[in-house]
Amino acid sequence: MRDILGHSLNFQYELLLPEIIIAITATLVVGADAFRNELRLGRRILPWLSVIGLVAALVVSLLWIDTQRNFARLITIDNYTTFFRVLFTATAIVVIVGSHEYVERHIGHIGEFYALILLSTVGAIYMAAARDLLTAYVAIEVLSFSLYVAVSLARNDPRSGEAALKYTLLGGVASAMLLYGLSLLYGVAGSTQYTEISGALAAGTGGMTLPLILGLVLIVAGLGFKASAVPFHMYTPDAYEGAPLPITAYISATSKAAVLALFLRWFSGPLLPALPDWQWMVALIAVLTMGLGNLVALQQRNIKRLLAYSSIGQVGYMLMAITTVSVVSASALLLHIGGYLVTNLAVFMAVIAFYNRTGTEEISGFRGLAQTNPYLALVITAGMFSLGGMPLLAGFLTKFILFTAAADGGFLWLATFAVIMSTVSLYYYLQVIKQMYLYQPDGDARRWRLSPTGYLTTAVLLAGTVVLGVYATPLYTLADRATRVLFV
Amino acid sequence: MLTVFLFLPAAGALMVALLPRERSHEAKWVALAFSALAFLTSIAVFLRFDRDAVGYQFVDRFEWIRAGTAGFSIQYVVGVDGLSAALVLLLGLLTVVSVLISWNIEARTKEYFAYLLLLETAVAGVFVSLDLIQFFLFWELELVPMYLLISIWGSGRKEYSAMKFLLYTLAGSAFMLVGFLMLGFAAGTFDIAALTAQPPTEALVPLSLIFWAIMLAFLVKLPVFPVHTWLPDAHTDAPTAVSVMLAGVLLKMGGYGILRIALPILPNEARDFRVALAALAAVSVIYGAIVTLQQKDLKRLIAYSSVSHMGYVLLGVSAMGALGLSGAALQMFTHGAITGLLFVMVGLVYDRTHTREISEMSGLIHRMPLIGTVMLVAGLASLGLPGMAGFVAELTTFLGTLEAHPAATIAGIFGVVLSAGYILWMVERVFHGPPTERWAGLTDATAWWERTAMAALVLVILAVGIYPALLTETIAAGVAPIAQIVGAA
């Protein structure tokens, strides 16, 4: 088949099999939820179904290792896509397994919860896989719309509705900006295909510099919003605080990683020829994001808000890798995203387990956790230290390689600033650790245990954090193979 | 063998942490066993160390992290020369002593001993690492157990002190990491031996900036005036064993860093700034001594005397000659043993009197002759009495620096006079004078663990004092190449 310009198109639907599986699972989940009473299904069937679908998608996506094919010139299936397919499906599995008890207690619409996570995973994967601006835009919206709804799902929490409204309104504005920016880019380059944009920009903009710069500003702002980079971060703390905890975890993991994946795909491919026009912008927001995220985090009392600001800071580090875009920094970014996901999920899964037991989100509520549940305290400590960049944990090594790449790319001042901010961040992570280890528990000092799935998820993530900190070579090699397809 | 030494305590920490709750009283035995094994390993390293061989010995090396195309790698590589062999021995000894004097810790014993052992691994890592990144890794790792040890088992304003300690060190190490990165890029490797063999001649920023970025971390750790203020607080509020570790080995990380990294890798810059370093050292010695004279708290007094004594290390370094560097390295070892002993004694006194106010104590030697005598021995060693370890180190230092920095050396010698003043005055006020009714019920050191800890350190102090060649030859073998590099620059 050919399109109207005469390009041959191949509609090999099997290339999209993982996402098809996930989408079908999502509809099955909603259906099973709707007819649960008629079909006499237990409540546990929904998470089971979702996990089975995701595992199937993960396994199937391994079929295309080291292939380089595209679907109808819209979607690329290469190592980069495969890397993020595996990463995002794995993240969704972890979130679902780790939070099903929380969901039963605190979520209003259980079926929708699982279905939205599944659908947003599809959006996230296509953000990394798209090779056409419009496909990428649609993927962003699939992810965003799922999350707008998911944020509002918390039962009995008035903050949830407020957060969802804020997130939706501001998200809509950001999407509009992004779309406007993309249309300007189309005007300059004459195509929505990544490969053709790259060619057109490399050949010169022909006096269209101003529209290009305006378009780049809008694109960076729109993506900056989605990644909650400063100064477009205002909604993040409220959205994080109001959303149900598993959704907060999911936003901070998949949503961030997907935006960064898209960022890298765009700025290392179609927009690379315009490097001098956008490099300063990204460097600027990277500095602002690192600085503000880490400094404001110092004053937080609520664990969700603390993690919100800490994740803003983390995005700052990642944007640094976009600034210095190169083969070295791209693989460092993927490695860091991998390490960040594992660590951040470890912290969130532990916090969810903690919340299931105590129902508190205040940092002071963690008092004496080292005595009532030393294992959980250890998981949170390892996670926090890793986020803060303590040696022998994932956070140090991945961050170190990231900073090295930035310094290597000629942005020494940026790397220096990042090292200093990373030191600052240790202080607020320590505030949580201090509560757990230094003080006696308030009230009930009995020991308690996690649920089996709580143990399972936290143990796997804890092991991941330590293993990545000590021996990251396998993931680094994979990240390297995944990014090699970008710069061609 | 070094890898064994490095990870033995960590294995012990893990084992202690995994002890079931009802057997937590056995934690100290496990800790003692593992620290003793590590000590034996360190003795073996020291004895089997070949003083005539060139380069690092007992090297273990493998590639740790490697990227595909980036061409960037971090390696795990450990090894010792004469300098680190001596410090490894000191570390092994002081950890055993620390475990012994923690024998009657009752609160959260499992965690306590686990952190203590973890601390040993971290410090050992600093002393044996031969890769800048690995060095940094252990340098940071040491903060975690130290912070928790001070803030959980300390006294007084323990949280404030622990946080102050942490923030000072972190601020320093952030600059150190930046400095390491720039060195690594300039030379294309993080391997200390390779960097020493071929020091980078230019980097992204002036080398002198890198020098001070790295030195800042070491000077904070040493500590030197004016970045010493964390030390008295941390010492005063830390539990006894932690004070011993802090004074005995943690401060040495700063001096070791200067000798291992700052001098050999940036020799020209080191020489350019040697007068500044000598001045800093002289101010630290005198200022530390004067402040020590005014202390009313027994532990704070010893803590400030450390500031003064570690000034000698920097003084020896600033001479940039073989003798001065040997003096500095010796001073590190002897200060570790002597001040470790002083803190042990202060801890034993405090266990009995429950006060550290010097003015409240009087005539204690009548009640506890053994503690009083050992304290006097430690004090005399500290003020540099001939025949004890301190004298050897200080004499070597002064001989080494006299020619290069006469004024600073005279200031240093004056510091010794002052130290005689504060030590003797302290001993007089606390142990001599009329025995009072209040302290009539005190008992002497009778428990085996108290006596073993004291005996071990006294033995080392006397042995080094009477027959310095035990130590000096090994250390001289270690610093000779460093002296050659900075001397030739």
Q: Does B66 sit within 8 Å of A473, measured CB to CB?
A: yes
CB A484 within 8 A of CB A409: no
pLDDT at A251: 92
Q: Chain-wide mean pLDDT for chain B?
A: 86
Q: Does A416 sit within 8 Å of B141, measured CB to CB?
A: no
- pLDDT, one tens digit per residue, over A425-472 is 988 998 898 888 888 887 777 888 888 888 999 999 999 999 998 888
Q: How far apart are CA B458 and CA B35, in angstroms?
A: 19
For the segment A11-37, the average pLDDT, to the nearest whole number, is 90
Cα dihedral B432, B438, B441, B447 sign:
negative
Q: Does A422 sit within 8 Å of B148, measured CB to CB?
A: no
Measured between CA atoms, how close is A373 to chain B, in angstroms?
13
B209–A contact, CB cutoff 8 A? no
Q: Is the pLDDT of residue B369 over 90?
A: no
Residues 99-138, chain B: which have Cβ within 8 Å of A?
111, 133, 136-138
Among A136-145, A367-376, B190-199, the range of highest mean pLDDT: A136-145
Cis amide bond preceding B9, omega within 30:
no
Q: How far apart are CA A390 and CA A466, in angstroms?
A: 11
Among A32-36, B154-158, B281-285, the range of highest mean pLDDT: B281-285
Q: Does B177 sit within 8 Å of A426, measured CB to CB?
A: no
For the segment B91-101, the average pLDDT, to the nearest whole number, is 90
pLDDT confidence band for B489 (50 / 70 / 90): low
Amino acid letter at A466? Answer: V
Cα B43 from chain centroid (whole Å): 18
For the segment A201-229, the average pLDDT, to the nearest whole number, is 87
pLDDT at B382: 87
Q: How far apart are CA A55 and CA A47, in angstroms?
A: 12
- For residue B39, being part of any structural domain is answered with no
Q: Does A423 sit within 8 Å of B170, measured CB to CB?
A: yes
Determine whether A359 is exposed, middle or buried from the number of CB atoms within 10 Å of its CB (0-12, 13-18, 19+): exposed
Measured between CA atoms, how close is A295 to chain B, in angstroms?
15
Q: Does A437 sit within 8 Å of B170, measured CB to CB?
A: no
Which of B70, B138, B178 lies nearest to residue A328, judging by beta carbons? B70
Higher pLDDT, B26 or A205: B26
Interface with chain B: mutation pick from A437, A481, A488, highest number of B CBs within 10 Å = A437
For the segment B388-407, the average pLDDT, to the nearest whole number, is 86
B442–A contact, CB cutoff 8 A? no
For the segment A402-408, the average pLDDT, to the nearest whole number, is 85
What are B60's strand-pairing partners?
B78
Q: How far apart are CA A72 and CA A93, in angstroms?
A: 29
Determine whether A319 is exposed, middle or buried from the number of CB atoms within 10 Å of its CB (0-12, 13-18, 19+): buried
- pLDDT, one tens digit per residue, over B255-273 is 999 998 888 888 888 888 8
Q: What string of DSSP letters covers B193-240?
A: HHHHHS--S--SS-HHHHHHHHHHHHHHHTT-TTS-THHHHHHHHS-H
Least confident interval from A437-446, B224-233, B269-278: A437-446
Instruction: Find the residue in B nearest to A411 (Cα).
Output: B204
pLDDT at B350: 87
pLDDT at A322: 92
- For residue B23, being part of any structural domain is answered with no
- For residue B344, being part of any structural domain is answered with yes
pLDDT at A205: 67
In the structure encoding, which two tokens stand for residue A43, read together? 């409540």
Instruction: Find the residue in B nearest to A406 (Cα).
Output: B181
Q: Does B141 sit within 8 Å of A392, measured CB to CB?
A: yes
pLDDT at A135: 93
* Cα–Cα distances in angstroms (integers) from residue A216 to residues A267, A278, B201, B284, in the given order: 10, 7, 41, 56
Q: Does A412 sit within 8 Å of B152, measured CB to CB?
A: no
Q: Does B66 sit within 8 Å of A476, measured CB to CB?
A: yes
Q: How far apart are CA B389 and CA B335, in angstroms?
A: 9
Instruction: Find the residue in A nearest to B159 (Cα).
Output: A438
Which of B137, B167, B204 lies nearest to residue A412, judging by beta carbons? B204
Q: How far apart are CA A100 and CA A114, in angstroms?
A: 10
- pLDDT, one tens digit per residue, over B112-144 is 888 989 999 999 999 999 888 889 889 988 888
B334–A contact, CB cutoff 8 A? no
Other Cβ atoms within 10 Å of B206 Cβ, number? 11
- pLDDT, one tens digit per residue, over A88-105 is 999 999 999 999 889 988
Which of B140, B151, B167 lies nearest to residue A391, judging by beta carbons? B140
pLDDT confidence band for A159 (50 / 70 / 90): confident
Amino acid letter at B235? Answer: H
B374–A contact, CB cutoff 8 A? no
Name the percent of chain A lying above pLDDT 70. Answer: 99
- For residue B67, being part of any structural domain is answered with no
Cα B32 from chain centroid (whole Å): 21
For the segment A40-67, the average pLDDT, to the nearest whole number, is 90
- For residue B182, being part of any structural domain is answered with no
B2–A contact, CB cutoff 8 A? no
CB A18 within 8 A of CB A85: yes
- For residue B435, being part of any structural domain is answered with yes
Pairing of strands B73-80, A75-77: unpaired
A232: Cβ contacts below 8 Å, ≥ 6 apart: A174, A221, A224, A225
- For residue B341, being part of any structural domain is answered with yes
Other Cβ atoms within 10 Å of B52 Cβ, number? 5
Which of A332, A415, A477 lies nearest to residue B181, judging by beta carbons? A415
pLDDT at A461: 94
What residues of A are in contact with residue B69 (Cβ under 8 Å)? 327-328, 331, 480, 484
Interface of A with B (CB under 8 A): 327-328, 331-332, 370, 385, 390-392, 396-397, 400-401, 403-405, 407-408, 412, 415-416, 419-420, 422-423, 426-427, 430, 434, 437-438, 471-473, 476-477, 480-481, 484
CB B412 within 8 A of CB B418: no
CB A226 within 8 A of CB A255: yes
What residues of A are in contact with residue B136 (Cβ under 8 Å)? 391
What residues of A are in contact with residue B129 (Cβ under 8 Å)? none
Nearest to B358 by CA among B450, B293, B403: B293
- For residue B457, being part of any structural domain is answered with yes
Determine whether B217 is exposed, middle or buried from the number of CB atoms within 10 Å of its CB (0-12, 13-18, 19+): buried
Whose structure tokens read 């680190």?
A: B84
Name the percent of chain A lying above pLDDT 90. Answer: 50
Q: How far apart are CA A291 and CA A286, in angstroms?
A: 8
Q: Does A327 sit within 8 Å of B181, measured CB to CB?
A: no
Q: How far apart are CA A228 and CA A45, in angstroms?
A: 35
Q: Is the pLDDT of residue B447 over 60?
A: yes
Which of A392, A403, A415 lies nearest to residue B137, judging by beta carbons? A392
pLDDT at A55: 96
State the number of CA atoms in the 13 A half-sphere of A217 facing the CB: 6
For the segment B318-336, the average pLDDT, to the nearest whole number, is 88
pLDDT at A458: 94
Q: Chain-wide mean pLDDT for chain A?
A: 90
Nearest to A261 by CA among A140, A402, A388: A140
Q: Is the pLDDT of residue A53 over 60?
A: yes
B18–A contact, CB cutoff 8 A? no
Which of B67, B137, B177 lies nearest to residue A476, judging by beta carbons? B67
Measured between CA atoms, how close is B11 to chain A, in angstroms?
15
Q: Is the pLDDT of residue B232 over 80?
A: yes
For the segment A208-232, the average pLDDT, to the nearest whole number, is 90
Q: What is the largest CA-CA distance in chain A?
A: 73
Q: Does A419 sit within 8 Å of B69, measured CB to CB?
A: no
What residues of A are in contact with residue B112 (Cβ under 8 Å)? none
ipTM: 0.74
For the segment B150-178, the average pLDDT, to the nearest whole number, is 87
pLDDT at B71: 53
CB A75 within 8 A of CB A326: no
Checking phi first, is residue B58 left (phi over 0); if not, alpha (psi -120 to 50) or beta?
left
Instruction: Find the residue in B nearest to A392 (Cα).
Output: B137
pLDDT at A170: 92
Instruction: Find the residue in B nearest to A396 (Cα).
Output: B137
What residues of A are in contact with residue B177 (Cβ under 8 Å)? 419
B151–A contact, CB cutoff 8 A? yes
pLDDT confidence band for A26 (50 / 70 / 90): very high
Other Cβ atoms within 10 Å of A361 Cβ, number? 17
B152–A contact, CB cutoff 8 A? yes
Q: How far apart are CA B298 and CA B209, in angstroms?
A: 39
> For chains A and B, what is the number of CB pairs under 8 angstroms?
88
Measured between CA atoms, how close is A422 to chain B, in angstroms?
9
Q: How many H-runs (helices) and E-runs (strands) does chain A carry?
A: 21, 2
pLDDT at B50: 81
Which of B64, B72, B111 lies nearest to residue A404, judging by beta carbons? B72
- Residue-range definition of the domain harbouring residue B336: 273-482
Q: Does B166 sit within 8 Å of A430, measured CB to CB?
A: yes
Q: How many domains would you assign to chain B?
A: 1
Instruction: Find the residue in A nearest to B150 (Cα).
Output: A438
pLDDT at A448: 87
For the segment B10-27, the average pLDDT, to the nearest whole number, is 84
